Structure 1
Amino acid sequence: MSTDKTGAPTEVTAESDRFVISVDGTKAGFTEYLDFGEQRIFPHTVIDDAFGGRGLATILVREALEATRAEGKRIVPVCSMVAGFIDKNPEFKDVTDPVTDEVKGVLAGR
């Protein structure tokens, strides 16, 4: 379990199509994903405005990417928040794939 910038405890849990971050038991945001073969596509991340500025997106994305790597999947960062995180944390570049037309088609068809 991590803590946010205010020291509040956070918890990231995996659901069938997203990772959810909670602060003191209150859902504060999520990052969606879609598994496509060996790839896990991350199209969208949201942190509730009431929890902004507390570093929750960083905690959420890091834990989601670590879980994805642990499952042996490749990361496809469609979401700008996920892409920006990977730019600042190059240790995930070895398991990151580019956003291709095929990925865009998969997202358009969901």
Structure 2
Amino acid sequence: MTDQGVAPVVVHVADRDRYEIRIDGTFAGVTMYHDRGGQRVFYHTKIDDAFAGRGLASVLVREALNDVRAGGRRIVPVCPYVKQFLGKHREFADIADPVTPEILQWLDGAAG
């Protein structure tokens, strides 16, 4: 997916527990996580309205999940978009863990 010939760039901003997607240096969206042991728990994905409808969420999540795989971690899709993405992209099933009540309780504590 490109925007006027400019390819989107996904950047891992580890000190803020997030992956950002940028178009020509401009922030276009984010997927956020918290790490729990060997799991990366994705809890929110948002594309800025100015960039909506361009398939950027898919690009962002795919790159984030590829990074998680490369780092030897597993993913937990609390975020509805990440969960939906996994349903369509079974190539990530081998690194996905289910969302459990324990993880949701832990996430509430991690976020607050």
* TM-score (ref. length: structure 2): 0.92
Counterpart in the other structure of 2:82: 82
Name segments (4+ residues, structure 1) moved above 3 Å: none
Cα-Cα RMSD: 1.2
Counterpart in the other structure of 2:101: 101
> Which has the larger share of helix?
2
Counterpart in the other structure of 1:22: 22
CA displacement at 1:5 relative to structure 2: 6.2
Counterpart in the other structure of 2:92: 92
The number of residues matched between the two structures is 108
Counterpart in the other structure of 1:12: 10
- Percent of residue pairs bearing the same amino acid type: 53
* TM-score (ref. length: structure 1): 0.93
Counterpart in the other structure of 1:56: 56
**Does 2:44 match 1:41?**
no
Please say if residues 5 and 55 of structure 1, whose CA atoms lie closer than 8 Å, have aligned partners that are also in contact. Answer: no
